[in-house]
Structure 1
Amino acid sequence: MTAFFTSGQVVDLILVLMALEGGWLMGYHQRTGRGLPVPAVLALLLPGAALLLALRVALTGGAWVWITFWLIVSLAIHLLDLRNRLR
């Protein structure tokens, strides 16, 4: 179980589950016209995915510059979403 976490596979699993959730939410919206539109789904999931990628880099002993990169990506997407919601 330790290897599952230290190898970053736990993050890979969570990212796959998030992708499935996003696909289902977008498909549901396209089929029914209900639920969140595609941009809203992406705005919800992408910051979390970027945080998970930063975690994966940290768990696997990656360079700090990549951790910082994914944290900045997450913040930027989050701030764009926040700006759009406050309009």
Structure 2
Amino acid sequence: MTEFFASGRAVDVVLAVLVIEALWLKWRGNRWMNILPALLPAVLMMIALRAALTGEPWYLISIALTLAFPIHLYDLHRRKMLRNGSDDPGT
């Protein structure tokens, strides 16, 4: 089990689950412009975790985490706009 986590394979499983979730959301009728901002921060954080577990340089970890933050902020802003009845920003 230690090797499963140390090799990053555990993160690969989580990434596969995120891909399945995205496909399931699309199949349920959601648009990609609504799915991607919601899931992309999680994907980037998982990439950062995989890099940390496998001993990649610190800057690769920080790049993935830095990219996740503005996308997360955009998603929060987008959800607030949708909740307040504004136009769907994904159109």
- Calculate the TM-score normalised by the size of structure 1: 0.85
Select the residue among 27, 32, 41 that pairs with 1:38. Answer: 32
Q: How large is the RMSD of aligned CA atoms in angstroms?
A: 1.2
1:66 alignment counterpart: 60
Query: What's the secondary structure of 1:61's corresponding residue?
Result: coil
Give, in angstroms, the shift of residue 66 of structure 1.
0.4
1:23 aligns with 2:23: yes
1:76 and 2:70 are equivalent in the alignment: yes
Give the length in aligned residue pairs.
Answer: 81
Higher helix fraction: Structure 1 or Structure 2?
1
Distance 2:36 2:72 in 1: 11
Match for 2:50: what amino acid?
R
Q: Paired residue for 2:49, among 49, 55, 60? A: 55
Deviates more, 1:62-71 or 1:37-46: 37-46
Matched, 1:5 2:5: yes
| TM-score computed with the length of structure 2 as normaliser | 0.82
Q: Percent identity between the aligned chains? A: 40
After superposition, give the CA deviation of every residue in 1:41-66 in whole Å (9 maximum; x if it has no partner): 11111101100100000000000000
Q: Which amino acid aligns with 1:10?
A: A
Unaligned runs of 5+ in 2: 82-91
